[in-house]
Structure 1
Amino acid sequence: MFEFNSRHTRFPRGFGLPGRTWKAGLPLIIKDLHDAKSFLRWEDAAKVGINLGVGVPYRTGTDQTWVLTFLSAQATPIARRFEIWVPNEDRSALVFRAGDCSAQTDLAARYAAQSIARGEGSIGGAWAAGMPALNDDLTSDGSIAGSEACAAGLSRMVALPVIGNGRLDAVLAWYL
Structure 2
Amino acid sequence: MFEFNSRHTRFPRGFGLPGRTWKAGLPLIIKDLHNAKSFLRWEDAAEVGINLGVGVPYRTGEKSWVLTFLSAQATPIARRFEIWAPDETRSALVFRAGDCSAQSDLAALYAAKSIAKGEGSIGGAWATGMPALNDDLAHDGSIAAVQAHAAGLSRMVVLPVIGNARLDAVLAWYL
For Structure 1 versus Structure 2, the TM-score category normalised by the shorter chain is over 0.9
RMSD: 0.5
Q: Which residue matches 2:94?
A: 95
Is 1:6 aligned to residue 17 of structure 2? no
CA deviations over 1:55-109 (Å, ceiling 9, x no partner): 0000111x22100000000000000000000000010000000000012431000
**TM-score, normalized by length of structure 1?**
0.98
- Secondary structure of 1:54's aligned partner: strand
Q: Which residue matches 1:133?
A: 132
Give the 4+ runs in structure 1 shifted more than 6 A: none
Counterpart CA distance in 1 for 2:133 and 2:156 is 6
Is 1:170 aligned to residue 169 of structure 2? yes
Whether the 8 Å contact between 2:103 and 2:151 is mirrored in structure 1 is no
Q: Which residue matches 1:72?
A: 71
Q: Which residue matches 1:43?
A: 43
**TM-score, normalized by length of structure 2?**
0.99
Is 1:146 aligned to residue 175 of structure 2? no
Gaps of 5+ in 2: none
Residue identity matched to 1:47? E
Gaps of 5+ in 1: none
Aligned length: 175
Q: Which residue matches 1:106?
A: 105
Counterpart CA distance in 2 for 1:118 and 1:60 is 24
- Secondary structure of 1:43's aligned partner: helix
Counterpart CA distance in 2 for 1:104 and 1:128 is 28
Counterpart CA distance in 2 for 1:36 and 1:137 is 35
Residue identity matched to 1:123? I
CA deviations over 1:115-156 (Å, ceiling 9, x no partner): 000000000000001000100000010000010001100000
